[in-house]
């Protein structure tokens, strides 16, 4: 019996040591974001039958449990896809807003001044100063079109670079995860730190692209809308192929349209839909402005009786119009060619200038029956509300993710208070177990001294 | 729920970021005086403000158009008055020289004066505003009347300006008013009178009296219609000035920050910020380890 007391005390000492070891590990990793709290699982040793009694035989630690709730982990990982999506959109659309720079005047102001210059010209078409002013204001307007278009195209190019970089990140992550799948399977025992690492990589990947994760037999595999990215220890690469994202198994499959969320999804939407839409609208505005003004301008006569001359250089299609819009060099060289008059040899005839001014308030059927100014203010409202949506969706999504993360942390996170309590608890357990040994020691001494 | 240290730190940071964002927004509003700094602050408000700013600028342009037209009309009015005065002088001369008390000598002198008055009138009807002859219709680069003939060399062009998006008003009077096809050519009439004076023909002088009266009526009618138009222009100018004020107010309401409200908000967030810092500074360093020997 006494020797079994020593054994029991020893089992308690060992168990307390293991527990204290895990507590110190928890404390050491308290600020490690990947870390899942560990706790020892105790089991009573099988009791021994002693005559009619079952006598306890102490304790052992059967497992170090990784405190982990799979449901919260999956929820967290799934919501990250939208978080990455909105974060990228918020950032890029914020940039686009500054490109339009409406608060400080911008294109709408230049357009208003362009019409104003026509008004002044209509009052006195014979004034060279009015003609020069119109040319200047037109060039400011053109410069505004050029700058916005140029910077949108530049941003479009930069996003191509971001897509390449994101794909490279994704490929690196899938390879690392496939490697961890292999390590975990080969390690045999549960290797908690590898699980932590793999979970963290999966979360990182989820922010970049929308994936569905399955776990079976210690391995994770996941799919991007049906295409496996990782299966066991094999990672499937993605590749940029021109405008397409291809899934790089043997047959290069175009999966561009299947990527809907994550940073990659956001970049693709920006590149293929949002920015082209802005550019298209800006181009349409420039094209129809050029067309309508030219059409009317050709009807008129300049001070030098020039006739049938375009005010802007004629454009053949709306594509690229905002970049290509230019003043006709004939007009630039000779402002007298600005056709304010509806007949030759009538210097103060301003009928044609008035007709061009009429365009200002005309609803243009090609621009959804809006005036030039309304069309542009709608575009600004669209840019603004896209940016506002992205920003408020991002804030909402961040709150949601934080909430899920709090739930996840309430199970997996380290609480220093709790560890302090456990520290005391297991320290006392250790002390008491040690004390048991000295009690047993004294009992043995008593027994030995019986015969003396 | 288990609250872990990580959760406390993270929530603390999130709260601070959020409060800081509000503070930053309020500072920006106070510094710029604007509620809308970028389209996303209020997309519809921004679109409205673009439209209002464009309306306002258009209204100011219309006002400028009207002001320029009014100065042109003022000059036209003075010119018409001067022509009227000159014609009245001619009328006086004609009446006095038509009487039997006049003789060949006085009529010869009168002919000289009449010739001078004609030169004076020619000077007036060839008045320029800037570089443009005001009585030339559209052909403002050519003198509408010359001494060599009594014909009108301008056209019937009416120079119009826009006073709103649909209405155009003309502000000039073509010189044909002095030599209408179906009325009295003032210059021809003066020449006839001068000839009658030189030739000492009281009958012909008397015949001219009627024509002088018609010529005066022509000028007076032109003055009247100009006066009506000028009143209209002045009225529109007042309307536009009122619209200018209205739209300036509307734009300010749309764009400008309510400084009193922003300042109060700022005060609230500053207090919240300080309270959060104080609370966190007290809460974060504390855990059970502080109390364990």
What pLDDT digit, counting tens, does each position of A353-410 carry? 999 999 999 999 999 999 999 999 999 999 999 999 999 999 999 999 999 999 999 9
Question: Residue A411 and residue B58: Cβ atoms within 8 Å?
Answer: no
| Residue listed under structure tokens 């009429």 | A358
**Which candidate from B37, B50, B137 shows the least CB-CB separation from A377?**
B50
Residues from chain A that touch B40, judged by Cβ atoms under 8 A, are: 93-94, 97, 384-385, 387-388, 391
Optimal mutation site among B43, B50, B161, interface A, most CBs of chain A within 10 A: B50
**Which candidate from B7, B39, B48 shows the least CB-CB separation from A97?**
B39
Question: Residue B57 and residue A112: Cβ atoms within 8 Å?
Answer: yes
Question: Across the strands, what pairs with A230?
Answer: A222, A235
- Give the minimum alpha-carbon distance from A145 to chain B in angstroms, rounded to a whole number: 17
**Which candidate from B157, B162, B289 shows the least CB-CB separation from A354?**
B162
Yes or no: say if B145 and B190 are a contact pair by the CB < 8 Å rule.
no
Q: DSSP characters for A291-351?
A: HHHHHHHHHSB-TT--BS--SBPP-S-STTHHHH--B-HHHHH-GGGS--BSSTT-TT--H
**Residue B35 domain flag:** no
Question: Residue A373 and residue B51: Cβ atoms within 8 Å?
Answer: yes
Question: Residue B136 and residue A421: Cβ atoms within 8 Å?
Answer: no
Task: For residue B193, give the nearest of B168, B173, B211, B177 by alpha carbon.
Answer: B211
Question: Residue B168 and residue A354: Cβ atoms within 8 Å?
Answer: yes
**Residue B277 domain flag:** yes
Q: Tell me how crowded residue A416 is: count the other CB atoms within 10 A of its CB.
A: 19
Q: Could you tell me which residues come within 8 angstroms of residue B182 by beta carbon, excluding any fewer than 6 positions away?
A: none
Are residues B221 and B139 located together in one domain of the fold? yes
Residue B173: CATH number of its domain: 1.20.1330.10
Structure token pair of residue B208: 């001219």
Q: Could you tell me which residues come within 8 angstroms of residue A245 by beta carbon, excluding any fewer than 6 positions away?
A: A163, A167, A238, A239, A254, A255, A256, A259, A264, A268
Question: Residue B165 and residue A415: Cβ atoms within 8 Å?
Answer: no
Q: How high is the pLDDT of residue B291?
A: 82
Q: How high is the pLDDT of residue A243?
A: 85
**Residue B71 domain flag:** yes
A418 phi and psi angles, rounded to 5 deg: -60, -45
Q: How high is the pLDDT of residue B232?
A: 94
> Which residue range(s) make up the domain with B274?
259-288
Q: How high is the pLDDT of residue B293?
A: 66
CB-neighbour burial class of residue B38 (10 A; exposed 0-12, middle 13-18, buried 19+): buried
Q: How high is the pLDDT of residue A303?
A: 94
How far is Cα B83 from Cα B121, in angstroms, rounded to an integer?
6
**Residue B160 domain flag:** yes
**Helix/strand/coil (H/E/C) assignment for every residue in B234-258:** HHHHHHHHHHHHHHHHHHHHHHECC
Are residues B221 and B281 located together in one domain of the fold? no
Question: Residue B43 and residue A384: Cβ atoms within 8 Å?
Answer: yes
Are residues B275 and B176 located together in one domain of the fold? no
Confidence band (pLDDT; 50, 70, 90) for B221?
A: very high
Q: Mapping DSSP to helix (H, G, I), strand (E, B) and coil, where does residue A237 land?
A: coil
- Give the minimum alpha-carbon distance from A115 to chain B in angstroms, rounded to a whole number: 9
Yes or no: say if B177 and B185 are a contact pair by the CB < 8 Å rule.
no
**Residue B32 domain flag:** no
**Residue B284 domain flag:** yes
| Residue listed under structure tokens 């004629």 | A314
Structure token pair of residue A237: 């690469």
How far is Cα A86 from Cα A265, in angstroms, rounded to an integer?
10
Are residues B215 and B272 located together in one domain of the fold? no
List chain A domain ranges: 2-67+414-450, 87-169+266-399
Question: Residue B3 and residue A410: Cβ atoms within 8 Å?
Answer: yes
Optimal mutation site among B39, B138, B255, interface A, most CBs of chain A within 10 A: B39
Q: How high is the pLDDT of residue A269?
A: 94
How far is Cα B293 from Cα A422, in angstroms, rounded to an integer?
15
Are residues B161 and B224 located together in one domain of the fold? yes
Task: For residue B251, give the nearest of B27, B29, B46 by alpha carbon.
Answer: B46
Nearest CA in chain B to A387: B40
ipTM score = 0.84
Give the mean model confidence (pLDDT) for residues B201-222. 93
Q: Count residue pairs from A and B with Cβ separation < 8 A.
A: 184
Are residues B143 and B263 located together in one domain of the fold? no
Optimal mutation site among B22, B54, B76, B256, interface A, most CBs of chain A within 10 A: B54
Optimal mutation site among A357, A415, A418, A427, interface B, most CBs of chain B within 10 A: A415
Structure token pair of residue A374: 């309304």
Q: How high is the pLDDT of residue A299?
A: 96
Confidence band (pLDDT; 50, 70, 90) for B85?
A: very high
How far is Cα A192 from Cα A415, in angstroms, rounded to an integer?
19
Count the alpha carbons within 13 Å of B46 in the hemisphere toward its beta carbon.
29
Optimal mutation site among B1, B4, B11, B68, interface A, most CBs of chain A within 10 A: B4
CA dihedral sign, ordered A268, A273, A277, A278:
negative
Are residues B79 and B223 located together in one domain of the fold? yes
Give the mean model confidence (pLDDT) for residues B248-261. 89
Question: Residue A124 and residue B132: Cβ atoms within 8 Å?
Answer: yes
- Give the minimum alpha-carbon distance from B229 to chain A in angstroms, rounded to a whole number: 17
Q: How high is the pLDDT of residue B280?
A: 83
Question: Residue B43 and residue A382: Cβ atoms within 8 Å?
Answer: yes
pLDDT digits (tens, 9 = 90+) for A143-184: 999 999 999 999 999 999 999 999 999 999 999 999 999 999
Are residues B178 and B264 located together in one domain of the fold? no
Structure token pair of residue A262: 């994550």
Are residues B269 and B168 located together in one domain of the fold? no
Residues from chain B that touch A120, judged by Cβ atoms under 8 A, are: 61, 64
Are residues B268 and B175 located together in one domain of the fold? no
- Give the minimum alpha-carbon distance from A355 to chain B in angstroms, rounded to a whole number: 11
Nearest CA in chain B to A358: B165
**Which candidate from B4, B43, B168 shows the least CB-CB separation from A385?**
B43
Please state the domain count of chain B.
2
Q: How high is the pLDDT of residue A225?
A: 82
Are residues B220 and B279 located together in one domain of the fold? no
Nearest CA in chain B to A115: B58
Are residues B121 and B180 located together in one domain of the fold? yes
Q: How high is the pLDDT of residue B37?
A: 83
Low-confidence ranges of chain A (pLDDT < 70): 103, 190, 249, 452
Yes or no: say if B133 and B127 are a contact pair by the CB < 8 Å rule.
yes
Question: Residue A384 and residue B168: Cβ atoms within 8 Å?
Answer: no
| Residue listed under structure tokens 């400080």 | A104
CB-neighbour burial class of residue B93 (10 A; exposed 0-12, middle 13-18, buried 19+): buried
Residues from chain B that touch A111, judged by Cβ atoms under 8 A, are: 54
Question: Residue A123 and residue B161: Cβ atoms within 8 Å?
Answer: yes
Question: Residue A417 and residue B288: Cβ atoms within 8 Å?
Answer: yes
Residues from chain B that touch A415, judged by Cβ atoms under 8 A, are: 2-5
- Give the minimum alpha-carbon distance from B140 to chain A in angstroms, rounded to a whole number: 6
Question: Residue A112 and residue B58: Cβ atoms within 8 Å?
Answer: yes
């Amino acid at each position: 019996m006494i020797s079994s007391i020593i054994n029991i005390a020893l089992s308690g000492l060992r168990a307390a040591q293991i527990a204290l070891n895990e507590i110190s590990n928890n404390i050491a990793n308290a600020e490690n974001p990947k870390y899942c709290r560990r706790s020892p699982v105790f089991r009573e040793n099988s009791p021994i039958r002693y005559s009619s009694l079952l006598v306890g035989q102490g304790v052992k630690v059967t497992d170090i449990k990784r405190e982990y709730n799979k449901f919260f982990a999956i929820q967290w990982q799934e919501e990250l896809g939208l978080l990455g999506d909105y974060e990228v959109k918020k950032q890029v659309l914020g940039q686009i807003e500054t490109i339009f720079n409406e608060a400080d005047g911008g294109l709408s102001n230049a357009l208003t001044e362009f019409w104003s210059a026509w008004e002044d010209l209509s009052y006195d078409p014979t004034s060279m100063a009015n003609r020069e002013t119109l040319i200047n204001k037109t060039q400011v307007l053109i410069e505004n079109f050029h700058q916005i278009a140029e910077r949108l195209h530049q941003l479009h190019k930069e996003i191509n670079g971001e897509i390449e970089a994101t794909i490279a990140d994704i490929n690196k992550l899938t390879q690392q995860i496939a490697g961890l799948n292999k390590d975990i399977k080969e390690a045999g025992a549960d290797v908690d730190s590898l699980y932590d690492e793999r979970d963290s990589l999966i979360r990182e990947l989820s922010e970049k692209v929308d994936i569905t994760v399955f776990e079976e037999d210690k391995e994770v595999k996941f799919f991007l809308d049906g295409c496996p990215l990782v299966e066991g220890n094999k990672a499937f690469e993605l590749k940029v192929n021109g405008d397409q994202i291809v899934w790089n198994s043997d047959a290069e499959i175009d999966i561009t349209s299947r990527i809907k969320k994550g940073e990659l999804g956001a970049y693709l939407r920006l590149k293929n839909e949002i920015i082209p839409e802005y550019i298209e609208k800006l181009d349409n505005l420039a094209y129809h402005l050029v067309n309508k003004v030219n059409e009317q301008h050709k009807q008129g006569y300049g001070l030098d009786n020039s006739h049938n001359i375009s005010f802007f250089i004629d454009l053949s299609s709306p594509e690229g119009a905002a970049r290509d819009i230019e003043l006709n060099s004939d007009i630039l060289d000779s402002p007298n060619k600005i056709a304010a008059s509806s007949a030759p040899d009538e210097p103060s005839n301003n009928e044609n200038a008035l007709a061009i001014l009429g365009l200002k308030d005309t609803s243009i059927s090609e621009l959804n029956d809006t005036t030039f100014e309304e069309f542009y203010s709608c575009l600004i409202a669209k840019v603004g509300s896209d940016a506002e949506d992205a920003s408020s969706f991002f804030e909402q999504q961040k709150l949601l993710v934080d909430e899920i993360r709090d739930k996840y942390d309430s199970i997996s996170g380290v609480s220093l208070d709790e560890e302090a309590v456990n520290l005391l608890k297991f320290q006392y357990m250790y002390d008491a177990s040690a004390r048991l040994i000295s009690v047993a020691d004294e009992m043995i001494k008593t027994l030995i001294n019986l015969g003396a | 729920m288990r609250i872990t240290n990580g959760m406390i730190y993270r929530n603390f940071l999130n709260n601070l970021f959020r409060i800081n964002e509000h503070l930053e927004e309020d500072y920006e509003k106070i510094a710029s005086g604007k509620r809308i700094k970028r389209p996303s602050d209020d997309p519809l408000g921004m679109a409205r403000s673009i439209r209002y700013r464009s309306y306002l600028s258009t209204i100011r342009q219309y006002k400028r158009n009207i002001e320029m037209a009014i100065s042109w009309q003022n000059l036209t009015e003075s010119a018409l008055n001067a022509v009227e005065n000159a014609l009245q002088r001619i009328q006086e001369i004609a009446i006095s020289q038509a009487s039997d008390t006049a003789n060949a000598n006085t009529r010869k002198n009168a002919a000289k004066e009449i010739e001078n008055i004609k030169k004076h009138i020619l000077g007036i009807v060839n008045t320029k505003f800037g570089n443009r002859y005001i009585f030339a219709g559209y052909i403002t680069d050519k003198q509408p009347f010359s001494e060599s003939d009594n014909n009108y060399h301008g056209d019937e062009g009416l120079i119009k300006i826009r006073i709103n998006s649909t209405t155009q008003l003309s502000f000039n009077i073509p010189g044909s008013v002095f030599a209408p096809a179906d009325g009295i050519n003032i210059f021809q009439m003066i020449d006839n009178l001068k000839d009658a004076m030189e030739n000492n023909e009281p009958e012909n002088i008397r015949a001219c009296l009627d024509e002088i009266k018609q010529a005066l009526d022509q000028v007076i009618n032109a003055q009247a219609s100009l006066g009506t138009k000028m009143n209209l222009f002045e009225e529109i100018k007042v309307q536009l000035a009122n619209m200018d004020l209205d739209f300036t107010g509307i734009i300010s309401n749309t764009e400008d920050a309510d400084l009193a409200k922003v300042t109060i908000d700022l005060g609230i967030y500053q207090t919240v910020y300080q309270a959060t810092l104080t609370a966190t500074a007290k809460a974060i360093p504390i855990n059970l380890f502080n109390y364990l020997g």
